[in-house]
Each structure stands twice: as C-alpha cells, then as structure tokens.
A and B are shown apart, each in its own frame.
Chain A
C-alpha cells in the first residue's frame, strides 16, 4: 500500500495523475459505500474538479503542495464553506457553513483532495456511530459490527480504502477507539496542537482534531501539515512543532515504556494478550519496561461524564432555531426553543445536555462539576508523576474488539465504558494514539494505545513506528 508521501511525490513529479488516484477511491466508494455508509456526503464532482486543478498546476510547472493528490475524508463536524455540515444531527440538516475550518483550508492549500464528509455519532457523542441521525456506519472488517465512534465514518473510510487519509475529532477517545476497531492508525495530539477553528464544539476543553491513516508515517506527515499555531483559535499553542516524520526515523533503544499496574480492569483477554506482545516487541527493540502507577486513572470516566456534558450543555445552547438549522414554529420564542430542540436532538444528545445542565445547576455545581474539575487535576498530576519514570505508557485502546450493533442495549453506561482507557488523556490534555497491532477474537483488529506527556508527540511516534515495524516483521 502506498503512503501519502509516495502518492504526493508521484503526483508532484508528474508520474501519476491526481485524477487517476481519485478515481480509484471513487470506484471503491461506488463498490462498498452502500453497505458501509461511511459518508454523510460524497463530494465526487468537487473532488474531480480539485484533482484536475492539481494536475494542471503540475503541468504548468507550479508547486501543487506537499499533499498533492492525497485523498482525505472529513468528519462531518468540521465546517466546509458552502458544503452541508450536519454533525449527523437533524438540528443542522441542510446547513451550509459560511466559512472553512482552519484544518480544511490548510489541507486544501497543501493540495489534498476532499472526497466527502463522514458519519459520526450525533455531535460526536457516542462510541459506535449508532447515534447518528442518518443511520449507523458499518465496520469494513465485519458489517454486522460497529466501527466504533464517534468518528466511525472516518475510521471506516480509511479501512475501506475510500480515502487515503481521514480526519476526526477526539473528546474522550473518538479517534483512537474507532481506529482500533477498524484496524487503522488514529492520533489525538496534545490539546492545542491542531487548530479547532471551525470544528463544531462538543466539549471545548477536551476536543482535539487528529488523523486516521494506514501507517504511522502518514499520521506523522498529516500532523506535520495541520499542526501549529492558529490565531483564530485562542487555545492553539503558540509555537511550532518539531517534524514527526523526522522523529520516526529514530529507534526506541533506551526509552522507558510504562506499564500501568493499577490500570482499570475490564479488557478482554485477546486484547490483553496483544498488549503483552507489544511490550515484548518494544523490549526486543531495546526499550526498557517499567512499572508505574496512575491511581486516578480509574476516576477518569466519572470526571469526564460530568465535565464533557457540562461543556456540551453550554455549547449546544446555540441550537435554538434562530441563526441556523432547524426551527419548529411556535407562538413565542421560549416555546420555539423547546420544540425545536426536542425535535432536532437525538436521545443521547438530550441525555448529555440534561446531565450537564444538572451538574452545573444551582445547588449541584460543587457536588458534581466542581468536584469533577478537582479529579481532573488529580489525573493530570498522576500522569505527570508517571512520566517522570516512563517516557510513554502503553495500554489497550479499547477494552474489546468491534462489537455487534445493539450490543450495548439501552444502557448508556455500558457504552461509556468503551472509553475507559482513552478518556484520561483528554482530561490531562496529553497526546495518545492507537496503533493497529494484530487481531483478536473473531479475527478482528486490536489496537494498542501509546500515551505520552504534553507535547511529547515525537517520542510517542517513535514508539508507534517501532510497534508497526515489529508487527510487519512478525508477519513475514
């Protein structure tokens, strides 16, 4: 399989046409999209026009950009000017944003070809993509199973070959968990590494954009392109980041790989087995395995499900039927708000808004939201301590391989437990990535999660690249 860098190089030197590459992906979409439903919208005409422009630039001797001809799919919570952006919600159906997200304009300027907007759990709330108002996405490895979520459409798009790259957002694991379940690489960078301008907000202190790719090298290239300061995002870190493509050329000799001895239980045996193989792989590559403790890790779920809904209840107050999206007519504004929001939001979104409003309401703020913010501090402090004795930490990404549709039933908590291992690094704002590492039950993909300290992406990528090489080595 070609890397994004190889594709861009071949388009840039004229040996391949961007349009031919695109047509291969559109053919894959035509063949399998009806059963997968990775997309809310396929932009075939727009993509062809963009690819032709790239080819013309090359023919004219102009620089077509570092991602020339590389196909990308975007989670449908990233604003694209004039192109419908729904968050897989009825409340935004048909809305066309008046501006592009920074990530979108950066990718376009780099020569990438946007092939479509991918499905998600409504407003990125979920771990299976079953909460989409437009129907679930199916896992390309087994269409009776979920792709994970909330960025399930983006994960499935790369796994099915619909696009070379895709982008998602990760608030509590929404990139890493579907990446694990679909057998692709998925990265959540340090909070503030990538601009959130134009990413429709779910929980603003936790949301972060990142890539889904077929290889660690592609993920490094993508972050090298989209990472960096953006004046339009006041939480964007005001510094440039070292090249991750350079970082992955280094091995892991001497690195300390942390095993969390008090990690919450609940991972299936097949997942734990792959994690052990990952430790062995890194040890064989010259790394040292060290035991660490992160006692507050186990309280991540509670802190997250108080903080994220609290922020969401505030962020989603803007969907009031006044400025965009759905309006249900009523006699006065208050009645219009209540009716519009009742008709426009799905069950899970309503549940989170209710939970968040409750946690923030007078008399309960200190007991719930205030307490959760303190637990967030504990988690962050515990990670800091762990990273003094370990360079990275290794955990499962998801407690299980892809599960079947409806498996979590009507119990919201059962679904929330899918995020046990991914949530804590959102609370601490630190980077994490899932690397596909073989298969588990039913021959389905298993992901291993690499966690690192704030802005320690270069080290995290070195470890990820070593795991990837180890896996390729063992398959030969």
Chain B
C-alpha cells in the first residue's frame, strides 16, 4: 500500500486501511491483510483517475438512474405458475423439510 495519504478535494483522507477493512466486512468478503493492502492500493489508483469528474459543476444536474424510464410496471394480480420448489431446493447447498438449511445465525462473530 502506498504511504501517501490520498485526499479528496475537501481534504479528507480518501482511503484508509481501516476503511478498506470495513468495506470488505460490509461486502461479506473475507480478506487477508495482504489482500486488503493490495485492494487498497488498487482502489486508490482508480479513485485518483475518477477524480476527473471533480472539476465538473454538477449542482444543477438531475441524477440519471435509468436509460428508458418506465414507471410502476406491474402485472395483473393473478396467481401464476411459479418455479418448482423441489427443483429449486435441489440446487441449494443444503436443504431440509422443503426449506433452505443454513448454519446458526447467532454465532461467535458480531
């Protein structure tokens, strides 16, 4: 990981090792300290490139979330055939009594 602190235009630190570790936790991705350091360096490089949009005045621009706006696309409220339960469960890593089976939800972590 590069030593230099990366600052955004407001002068705040852009990426810290702590921030990267937190993002990995949020994304549910286990990473070794080496992987975290490599990831921090790579994201750092990208965010530096992405700073090219910082010079744009976007104050009056409306965000665009979809290319072909369609609003409230609903189907008729009629019962339709759905996926076969046994076929769906057959693809699961673990299933029991017609349901997905998972390890304990309350564990040692968090």
Interface residues in chain A, defined as those with a beta carbon under 8 Å from any beta carbon in chain B: 95-99, 190-192, 205, 231, 234-235, 237-238, 298-299, 301-303, 305-306, 313, 317, 320-327, 329-339, 341-342, 345, 350-351, 353-355, 357-358, 361, 367-368, 370-378, 380, 411-413, 427-430, 454
Cα A99 to Cα B83 in complex, Å, equals: 8
Interface residues in chain B, defined as those with a beta carbon under 8 Å from any beta carbon in chain A: 8, 19-20, 22-24, 26-31, 39, 42-43, 45-47, 49-50, 52-53, 56, 58, 61-68, 70, 73, 75, 83-84, 87-88, 91-94, 100, 102-110
Q: Once the chains bind, are A354 and B67 in contact (CB under 8 Å)?
A: no
With A330-B103, A334-B28, A335-B109 already in contact, the answer to whether A350 and B39 are too (CB < 8 A) is: yes
Task: Contacts A326-B93, A332-B104, A361-B23 known; list 14 others, CB within 8 Å.
Answer: A238-B70, A301-B49, A302-B53, A322-B93, A332-B103, A335-B103, A339-B30, A353-B27, A354-B20, A354-B39, A368-B47, A376-B63, A413-B45, A454-B67
**17 residue pairs bridging A and B, Cβ less than 8 Å apart:** A96-B91, A98-B83, A205-B67, A234-B73, A235-B66, A235-B70, A237-B68, A238-B70, A323-B100, A331-B104, A334-B109, A342-B29, A355-B43, A371-B53, A377-B64, A429-B66, A454-B67
Name the A residues within 8 Å of B30 (CB-CB). 338-339, 341-342
Q: Once the chains bind, are B39 and A334 in contact (CB under 8 Å)?
A: no
Chain B residue at smallest Cβ distance from A334: B109
Set A302, A342, A354: member contacting B23, Cβ < 8 A: A354
With A99-B83, A327-B93, A336-B102 already in contact, the answer to whether A320 and B28 are too (CB < 8 A) is: yes
Q: Once the chains bind, are B67 and A429 in contact (CB under 8 Å)?
A: yes
Name the B residues within 8 Å of A325 (CB-CB). 93
Cα A320 to Cα B93 in complex, Å, equals: 10
Set B65, B68, B87: member contacting A454, Cβ < 8 A: B68
Q: Once the chains bind, are B105 and A338 in contact (CB under 8 Å)?
A: no
Q: Once the chains bind, are B107 and A332 in contact (CB under 8 Å)?
A: yes
Q: Once the chains bind, are B75 and A231 in contact (CB under 8 Å)?
A: yes
Q: Once the chains bind, are A302 and B29 in contact (CB under 8 Å)?
A: no
Name the B residues within 8 Å of A98 (CB-CB). 83-84, 87-88, 91
CB distance from A293 to the nearest CB of B (A): 16
Chain A residue at smallest Cβ distance from B49: A413
Interface centre among A235, A301, A334 (most CB of B within 10 A): A334
Q: Once the chains bind, are A191 and B29 in contact (CB under 8 Å)?
A: no
CB distance from B91 to the nearest CB of A (A): 5
Set B29, B46, B56, B108: member contacting A299, Cβ < 8 A: B56
Name the A residues within 8 Å of B104 (CB-CB). 331-333
CB distance from A198 to the nearest CB of B (A): 12
Q: Once the chains bind, are A412 and B50 in contact (CB under 8 Å)?
A: no
Q: Once the chains bind, are B39 and A351 in contact (CB under 8 Å)?
A: yes
Name the A residues within 8 Å of B56 (CB-CB). 299, 375, 378
Cα A327 to Cα B102 in complex, Å, equals: 10
Chain A residue at smallest Cβ distance from B76: A231
The 5 closest A-B pairs by CB, nearest first: A429-B67, A332-B107, A373-B63, A327-B93, A377-B64
Q: Once the chains bind, are A299 and B93 in contact (CB under 8 Å)?
A: no
Q: Once the chains bind, are A333 and B63 in contact (CB under 8 Å)?
A: no
Q: Once the chains bind, are B27 and A322 in contact (CB under 8 Å)?
A: no
Q: Once the chains bind, are B29 and A355 in contact (CB under 8 Å)?
A: no
Interface centre among A313, A336, A370 (most CB of B within 10 A): A336
With A231-B75, A299-B53, A429-B68 already in contact, the answer to whether A333 and B93 are too (CB < 8 A) is: no
Cα A237 to Cα B47 in complex, Å, equals: 35
Q: Once the chains bind, are B105 and A332 in contact (CB under 8 Å)?
A: yes
